[in-house]
Structure 1
């Protein structure tokens, strides 16, 4: 039986492990943290990712988490609409809704699809050799047992690196200067209590700033924001909620009121990076990159996790079709299937990022006018822009 080692227990790594297990692989997943997703945040799951999750039986459970109903769209900081559409319009066009849920809820669903003993927490795995057509891949491991550290070495038919935007595996496979760049923006995420009907889902654009509100089940709201900041900067005294109130406290209702309900200790802040040039490949030997390790993208299309989920099921599909000695060729097919698509999604997301980062009065006015004009073209005009992303379907597996 073929064996895979997965590095990283985020959405992409968990999906890859679950998909490979569903295809009959034995799987070991190493996650360096002590738990999966210890702090809550929201996550948008598009129709494309739902179809990918269907291949491992997780699509319908995720659809059941949906609380995104009614209308949504893009607003100005003062609340005036630039463009709006019905959520049902999108669902009718693509056959599935846009689901916004707690990231931890999806993590739990994916982790439940792993076999007993597959998940290793407090465990760091480092690629030592990617292997080749005749030799397996090798990783070194370091596991904190609570009473000491145990080190070791493991071999596998396939190593899946889902180790994030600052991926050590990417650096090992493609040595040299890091291909990621700071966008000049930082992002905040938070979840708070908000009664159903107390707000309309929307993303509002200011001068270089963005604030979004999406509903979650259980009368909760997922809040997110971006603003210019020096790389690595943090709020004075570490109070990120106070920083959000400083930046967005005079925006349209209910933005200030929602921010005041947020637990100051539950605000996540991360700088936003992008990859100006795509990697030459997503694999080398028997090692494959996926998600942010392969194609880090800005959050503007809500596709970071969705593309990682797509990667995972496509990788499992191609890897399973390979004979043991043919794994490098199978991973070349994975690169061919994923590189062009993810590069386009990555570039589209960055273009929107640049639009939201505009600060000059004239450029902002021109941007807002363009978005407003698109909205005037009809209720499906905004939705149609997502056809390339949302109409994707996973590959058909062999009988």
Structure 2
């Protein structure tokens, strides 16, 4: 029996694992190379919109993840004093875009994706470097601690500081600071009873969302210089910045421990890459199009990338290089537009000018009264995306077959 073409995935995050599952189902012999010693994800919560849930349907995970949806009622946008600027609901969201918005811990999604892969596919403590991107007449080559590997396809899913991207496009300027930093935490909050919300202040934002398991996912952002750290601890810094905001913000801060709070400066790729591929190598997720989290689409777009890449990378026809050109054509315009929109939203919700904030809040209120909430409108053209039609049908096991 002929050996299946080989695909090496550099990076075992959400995008890398989603690509591994999608390519495995398509018929590739997949290996995931993750430099960390385990698949424990960096980060806290993630929101999955209907677009990425439909992508997860392609790899058999959509309904499982939809079952974790905790946001069932009202939600929306507030001011630091608690006034609602714009309100929406899970039901309206589902009706408008054909599905719910699911908030869950990143570890839950990582575990679900990894469980879809055969034993031994994921190699941890395996730092990888691209040696040769390959081409139509030769395989790509990757160096690892265990030696050099060859493959018909390499996927660079190694994040915002992607070494694979740097090898493919050494002249690209890479990511730039987005102008703000973020804090995130997932904590138990017994007796919590509040509507899912995001709050926009003066150069600061806060979000609080219930999860399916009884915990709360909270995040914050503030316009500060890059590279900063709190004088005491990051929880104390959040109390200083947000301690007098509306309920349940003080309760969340009181329940959090300093070690529960993660802080990261936000960067994005301002200058789009010339392509998302070169030779036999494809880039996906933050390695290809890192964007601010203001639309909550970073992980969603990585999942979309994964299933579109598998759609274009047919393991049977020997035309991987041509297939990757189709992947770039399908993904670059969409992700570039969403990234620019996320940058624009960051300018809006991180605004510092008091007169500008007054005009912004008044406009949001007026627009939301006249039609769907701003929160929902921001997803138009994003959450209604659908995966490409596969040229393959699915048998009863869900595996793609001719």
Match of 1:226 among 221, 233, 256: 221
CA contact (8 A) 2:292 2:339 kept: yes
Aligned to 1:328: 321
Cα-to-partner distance string for 1:179-201 (whole Å, 9 max, x where unaligned): 31101200011011124652211
Structure 2 residue 349 is the aligned partner of structure 1 residue 353: no
Query: How far apart, CA to CA, are the structure 2 residues paired with 1:303 and 1:359?
Result: 24
Deviation at 1:217, TM superposition (A): 1.5
1:27 Cα offset (Å): 0.5
Listed as ranges, the matches of 1:1-399 within 5 Å are 1-37=4-40, 41-142=44-145, 151-195=146-190, 198-237=193-232, 239-320=233-314, 323-324=317-318, 326-379=319-372, 382-399=375-392
1:212, 1:225 within 8 Å by CA — same for their partners in 2? yes
Q: What is the TM-score when the length of structure 2 is the normalising length?
A: 0.94
Q: Which moved more, 1:97-106 or 1:171-180?
A: 171-180
- Provide Cα deviations, 1:43-72, integer angstroms capped at 9, x if missing partner: 100000000000111111101111111011
How far residue 104 of structure 1 moved from its aligned partner, in angstroms, is: 0.5
Render the CA deviation track for 1:348-378: whole Å, top value 9, x for unaligned: 1110011122111111111112211221113
**d(CA) in 2 for partners of 1:43 and 1:196?**
22
Q: Which residue of 1 aligns with 2:395?
A: none
Residue aligned with 2:264, SS: strand
Tell whether the 8 Å contact from 2:196 to 2:210 is kept in structure 1 after alignment: yes
CA distance in 2, matches of 1:139, 1:39: 24
The CA distance in 2 between the partners of 1:63 and 1:216, in whole Å, is: 12
Change in CA separation of 1:123 and 1:279 when aligned onto 2, cut-off 3 Å: same
Helix, strand or coil at the partner of 1:184: strand
- Secondary structure in 1 aligned to 2:382? helix
- Displacement of 1:37: 2.2
Q: Mind listing any 5+ residue stretches in structure 1 that lack a counterpart?
A: 143-150
CA displacement, residues 314-333 of structure 1 (integer Å, 9 cap, x when unaligned): 00110026622x21110000
Q: Secondary structure at the match of 1:300?
A: helix
Question: Contact 1:321–1:330 at 8 Å: present in 2 too?
Answer: no
Q: Deviations over 1:189-214 (max 9, x none)?
A: 10111246522110000000000011
State the number of aligned residues.
Answer: 389
Please list every run of 5 or more consecutive structure 2 residues that lacks an aligned counterpart in the other structure.
Answer: 393-402
Normalization by structure 1: what TM-score? 0.95
Asked whether the equivalents of residues 296 and 304 of structure 1 are also in contact (C-alpha less than 8 Å), the reply is: yes
Which range is displaced more, 30-39 or 260-269? 30-39
Q: Would the alpha carbon gap of residues 288 and 38 (structure 1) be closer, same or farther in structure 2, given more than 3 Å must change?
A: closer
Cα shift readout 1:130-180 (whole Å, capped 9, x = no counterpart): 0000100000012xxxxxxxx410000000000001111111111125331
Contact 1:72 1:201 in 2 (8 A): yes
CA contact (8 A) 2:41 2:110 kept: no
